[in-house]
Structure 1
Amino acid sequence: MLGIPKAPLALGLAGLIPFVWGALSYLNPDLALWGTQALGPRFVGPYIQLYYGAIILSFMSGVLWGFATKAEGGRAATGYALSVVPALWAFSMTGGGPVSAGTNLLFGFAGLLLLDYAFFKWGLTPPWWMRLRLILTAVVVSCLAISVVY
């Protein structure tokens, strides 16, 4: 976590809460019951992960769009085109039940990491970007995998 500014790190880690909570409430029936009673069924297990995951993929499209504004010419056009892929993926691939939607989100976040790397290699991101994205993606993919595999 060296070199990542405190605000992006703290906000990024806070953004993991719905994924971690979803995995924990999926693995622990008592926690799921409490969460269902206190928060509602949409806010436990894979359901919070699916809803929030689609939002985050869409949010990350906006982040990548912002990075594309720093490019010029063909690279800018490519950046803009690639930046919409995570949102379109979330929109088109999160139906069909929790297992298939979770699997598709898992692949969506893995694909997003590849896009993050491309924008990083093009010099459009902050220098610490990939360190942050690797940490966040590892947790998100692990949490989604729990809800898909178990």
Structure 2
Amino acid sequence: MTRIPTAPLLLGLAGLIPFVWGALTYLDGNLQAWGAQALGPRFVGPYVQLFYGSVILSFMSGVLWGFATKVDGSRAALGYVLSVLPALWAFFMTGGGPVSAGLNLMFGFAALLLLDAAFSRWGLTPPWWMQLRILLTVIVLACLSVGVFL
């Protein structure tokens, strides 16, 4: 296994803050009340997770697009097509209330991990990519599950 470089690891972990914060404020009514008062109601509970999750799926589409630029021809075309799927998923599937939107985000992040694996298998990602993506995805799915299943 290749060691994840410090900068991507720290930035990836920092990117989990809204997911973790959302789960904590969902579980703790006092923290949710404080967060809603201090930050606003859309920055607590599932609301912060749903909005931020859509942003991150869209961001990851851009990351995959960048990986697709490393090849030519039909493989590049396939990479570009696959790269837009997370953003489209987020756009079309995160309405309908916090539980269904959260569940759809969970499916989106799980599918993104499969796309990450495909791009990694094609040799388009850094060697440490899957270690980072698995770590981050597991935490995201755990945090989203709080709003979906509890």
TM-score exceeds 0.5? yes
Q: Which residue of 2 aligns with 1:81?
A: 81
Map 1:117-132 onto structure 2 (within 5 A): 117-132=117-132
Segments of structure 1 that go 5 or more residues without pairing to the other structure are: none
Who is 2:32 aligned against?
Answer: 32
**Aligned partners of 2:71 and 2:10: how far apart in 1?**
28
1:63 matches 2:51: no
Mind listing any 5+ residue stretches in structure 2 that lack a counterpart? Answer: none
Alignment partner, residue 147 of structure 1: 147
Q: CA RMSD in A?
A: 0.9
Deviation at 1:2, TM superposition (A): 5.9
TM-superposed deviation, 1:72? 1.5
Counterpart secondary structure, 1:124: coil
Q: Determine helix, strand or coil for the equivalent of 1:53.
A: helix
- SS across alignment from 2:70: coil
Q: Could you list the structure 1 runs, at least 4 aligned residues long, displaced by more than 6 angstroms after superposition.
A: none
| CA–CA separation in structure 1 for the residues paired with 2:82 and 2:10 | 27
Distance 1:12 1:2 in 2: 16
Give the residue type in structure 2 aligned to 1:30.
N
TM-score scaled by length of structure 1:
0.98
State the number of aligned residues: 150
User: Equivalent pairs: percent with the same residue?
Assistant: 73
